[in-house]
Amino acid sequence: MSFALIVIPWSNPALAEKLVPITTSEGMVLLQRSKSVSDYASLMEAFLTQSNLAYCGVASAVMVLNSLAIPAPPVDGFRNYNFWTQDNIFTFKPSKSLISPAKVRRQGMTLQEVQNLLSHHGVSSKRLHGDILNLSAFRSHLKNSLDDSSDRLIVNYDRRVLGQKGGGHFSPLAAYDAISDKVLILDVARYRYPSVWVKTHDLWKAMRTLDGISGLQRGILSID
Annotated catalytic residues are 56, 169, 187
Say what the alpha-carbon torsion angle 21, 22, 28, 33 is, to the nearest 10 degrees.
Answer: 100
* Distance (Å) of CA 174 to CA 100, 198, 218: 28, 12, 19
- Evaluate whether 66 touches 117 at the Cβ level (below 8 Å): no
Nearest one of 26, 40, 65 to 186, comparing CA atoms: 40
Neighbours of 92 (CB within 10 A): 11
Return the sign of the alpha-carbon dihedral for residues 151, 173, 204, 59.
negative
As a 3-state breakdown, the chain gives helix, strand, coil percent values, each rounded to 5, of: 35, 20, 50
